[in-house]
């Protein structure tokens, strides 16, 4: 299975290429729809959060997901057409993926794919695309090409979901406006290890 997000030129265009078995399809993505990569990675973070009951993941799930229990949909639209990717979390390490298409003159959506896929394989494929983007364009280069920010924090959360190197320190206290406030802390050097291409 491949779920590849790639830039296609330097004018704010990208594409998704999805392959599973004998099904292969490409869908264009344009920047003016908002930050499609942050929505995609945020959804992946939310889906993975259901696996480990980690609170920051659930906060993202409440923000991103259509249904905070198990549902996330992502739809790159281009010029009156769209493909909607609908992810539903299962009880095992799979998600059900439906892809529905609606073209300019269509009245009804057409479901072209409906299968259970491995969540870790899906995340690894999306992360591989992000690794390629960072290695070849950089964080600012991504912005210069796609005209949207690269979603670093979601990328780091997904990396950590797969590799588990970040330690979360919840015991930091700072004095702000004469009050003691609890703050969260992670290690920037561990995070940089995820970002710097190998």
- Quick one: pLDDT at residue 152? 93
Give the residue among 145, 161, 138, 188 at the shortest CA–CA distance from 42.
161
Residue 97 confidence class, pLDDT cut points 50, 70, 90: very high
Note whether 66 and 73 are within 8 A (CB): yes
Q: Report the 10 Å Cβ neighbour count for 83.
A: 25
- Quick one: pLDDT at residue 166? 83
Q: Is the pLDDT of residue 8 over 80?
A: yes
Q: Is the pLDDT of residue 86 over 70?
A: yes
Q: Report the 10 Å Cβ neighbour count for 49.
A: 24
How many independent structural domains does the chain possess? 1
Distances (CA, A) of 189 to 7, 52, 101, 156: 28, 24, 42, 12
Distances (CA, A) of 142 to 67, 77, 146, 160, 193: 30, 20, 6, 22, 19
Q: What are phi and psi of 165, to 5 degrees?
A: -110, -20
Residue 161 confidence class, pLDDT cut points 50, 70, 90: confident
| Contact partners, residue 122, CB within 8 Å, separation at least 6 | 1, 3, 44, 95, 97
- Quick one: pLDDT at residue 100? 92
Q: Is the pLDDT of residue 139 over 70?
A: yes
Q: What is the mean pLDDT of residues 39-46?
A: 85
| pLDDT tens digits along 58-84 | 555 555 555 555 578 888 776 667 788
Mean pLDDT (the chain, rounded) = 83
| E strand or H helix that includes residue 152 | helix 152-163
Note whether 4 and 142 are within 8 A (CB): no
Query: Residue 175 belongs to what domain range?
Result: 2-195
What percentage of residues in the chain have a pLDDT greater than 90?
A: 38
| pLDDT tens digits along 11-32 | 888 899 999 999 999 988 877 6
């Amino acid at each position: 299975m491949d779920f590849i997000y790639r830039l296609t030129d330097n004018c704010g265009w990208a594409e998704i290429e999805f392959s599973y078995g004998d099904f292969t399809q490409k869908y264009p993505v344009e920047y003016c729809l908002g930050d499609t990569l942050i929505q995609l990675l945020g959804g992946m973070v939310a889906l993975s959060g259901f696996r480990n009951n980690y609170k920051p993941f659930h906060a993202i799930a409440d923000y991103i997901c259509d249904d905070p229990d198990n549902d996330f949909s992502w739809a790159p639209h281009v010029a009156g057409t769209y493909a909607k990717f609908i992810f539903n979390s299962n009880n095992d390490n799979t998600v059900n993926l439906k892809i529905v298409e609606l073209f300019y003159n269509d009245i009804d959506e057409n479901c072209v794919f409906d299968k259970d896929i491995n969540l870790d394989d899906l995340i690894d494929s999306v992360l591989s695309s992000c690794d390629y983007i960072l290695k070849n364009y950089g964080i600012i280069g991504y912005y210069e090409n796609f005209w949207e920010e690269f979603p670093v924090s979601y990328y780091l959360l997904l990396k950590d979901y797969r590799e588990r190197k970040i330690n979360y320190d919840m015991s930091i206290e700072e004095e702000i406006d004469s009050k003691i406030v609890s703050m969260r802390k992670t290690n920037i050097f561990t995070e940089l290890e995820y970002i710097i291409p190998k």
